[in-house]
Amino acid sequence: MATLELRGIKKHYGSIHAVDGVDVVVAEGEFLAILGPSGCGKTTLMRMIAGLEMPSAGEILIGGKPVTHLPPRARNVSMVFQSYALYPNMTVARNIAFPLKTRGMPTAERDAKVAWAVGIMGIGHLLHRRPARLSGGEKQKVALARALVRDPALFIFDEPLSSLDAQVRTMARGELRQLHDRTGVTTVYVTHDQLEALGMGDRIAIMQHGRVHQLGTPQELYDDPADTFVAAFLGAPPMNMLERDGHIVGFRAEYLLPSASPAAAHDDALSLRMHISQLEFLGAEWLVYGEIENGATPQKLLAKVPPAVAATLRVGEQREFTVARSRLRHFDSTTGLRVRDERG
């Protein structure tokens, strides 16, 4: 358990700036999710924290101690790879014991530690199997036990859920977060899946082009995106964005509602006349695809409405939709940065 501090971390491969100045402080016991599209530099950043790559510039501190140029084994960092990277020629028991063996722990102590990690993950029945005979979920548990067994200063997860089936993934997400809460180990979790980041992270760092666009709690990022990239990347569907009066105005689909419905009966609201082009059933709610006249070009918008409201809508008709002004977020149309002056 320790803090993690990244100071001005850069990684350049020739003219390519994979990571271009990242400053992040992760508190002791915190779960930080690093979220971004592929190629944003999140994997490179993670590899530098683990010690698998050396930064071109900047400093890394774990537990207050600089580790920037130390090899991985001198950092006491546990890592779970996307593939789980279990040693194929070793049984589950020997896989889990491996990190202890490398540091020359006596056998008795080692066995006790392995039994403890195996107990936490509930994989006692798998001990004598080889990795090839394990399911995806079992592999993950073994990889977690191996990461856990040596009381690491830091957990690093590299998209550990992406090779699981969709059904198992939700469960695995819960288990991972529970494991973190039980052990209290500082965790860096790299993912491109916003559901994982939103669901598990205490805070999320959103990255693009080697930079952190915004660092904050999931709620902050969702409600108060720092720029248009975050607004468009986070949330399903992404934030609606309109060009108006030289600004970009953004609002979430769930706040865009037909005027007739009581929820939208708001004095201080922005009104938009929308042509409904498609209705999509999502289960608990409906997604409304619409178009509005915005200057010369038509603009596509999305609204998320409850089934009762959706029942009043017809494809092809024109309807008045409104969004409360308190829900509008304004961005500079050239830089894409948030403008805090909340004008209509």
Structural Rg of the chain based on CA atoms:
24
Cβ 51 to other proteins, closest distance in Å?
Answer: 8
**Residue 162 touches other proteins, criterion: CB under 8 A:** no
Cβ 55 to other proteins, closest distance in Å?
Answer: 17
Binding string to other proteins for residues 123 to 142, with x set by CB under 8 A, is what? ------xx-xx---------
Which member of 36, 41, 55, 99 binds other proteins (CB under 8 A)? 99
Kindly state the tokens that stand for 126.
């798998």
Which member of 37, 39, 66, 71 binds other proteins (CB under 8 A)? 71
How is 135-148 classified by DSSP, letter by letter? -HHHHHHHHHHHHH
**Residue 51 touches other proteins, criterion: CB under 8 A:** yes
Taking each helix axis from N to C end, the angle separating 107-121 and 136-148, rounded to the nearest 10 degrees, works out to: 140
Segment contacting other proteins by CB under 8 A, of 49-57, 169-177, 315-323, 332-340: 49-57
Residue for token pair 């056998």: 107
Kindly state the tokens that stand for 225.
């995106």
Contact 167, 136 (CB under 8 A): no
Q: Going along 83-222, which residue ranges are E strands?
A: 154-158, 187-191, 203-208, 211-216
The answer to whether the Cα torsion of 239, 242, 247, 249 is positive or negative is negative
Nearer to other proteins, 131 or 235 (CB): 131
Contact 263, 250 (CB under 8 A): no
- Give the total of residues touching other proteins (CB under 8 A): 26
**Residue 87 touches other proteins, criterion: CB under 8 A:** yes
Give the integer Cα–Cα distance in Å for 185 and 253. Answer: 36
SS3 318: strand
Within 8 A by CB and 6+ apart from 289, the residues are: 276, 277, 278, 279, 280, 300, 302
Cβ 89 to other proteins, closest distance in Å?
Answer: 4
Nearer to other proteins, 103 or 182 (CB): 103
Instruction: Write phi, then psi, for 82 (nearest 5 degrees).
Output: -55, -40
**Residue 102 touches other proteins, criterion: CB under 8 A:** yes
Nearer to other proteins, 57 or 85 (CB): 85
Segment contacting other proteins by CB under 8 A, of 75-83, 117-125, 263-271, 314-322: 75-83
Which member of 65, 69, 103, 182 binds other proteins (CB under 8 A)? 103
Segment contacting other proteins by CB under 8 A, of 71-79, 194-202, 267-275, 281-289: 71-79
**Residue 83 touches other proteins, criterion: CB under 8 A:** yes
Nearer to other proteins, 104 or 262 (CB): 104
Query: How big is the CA angle at 213 (ends 209 and 219), to the nearest 5 degrees?
Result: 140
**Residue 326 touches other proteins, criterion: CB under 8 A:** no
Segment contacting other proteins by CB under 8 A, of 15-23, 30-38, 94-102, 263-271: 94-102
**Residue 63 touches other proteins, criterion: CB under 8 A:** no
**Residue 79 touches other proteins, criterion: CB under 8 A:** yes
Give the integer Cα–Cα distance in Å for 312 and 195. Answer: 31
Which member of 57, 70, 85, 168 binds other proteins (CB under 8 A)? 85
Give the integer Cα–Cα distance in Å for 311 and 46. Answer: 47
Contact 276, 317 (CB under 8 A): yes
**Residue 107 touches other proteins, criterion: CB under 8 A:** no
Q: Using CB under 8 A, list all residues that contact other proteins.
A: 50-52, 71-73, 77-79, 81-83, 85, 87-90, 98-99, 102-103, 129-130, 132-133, 146
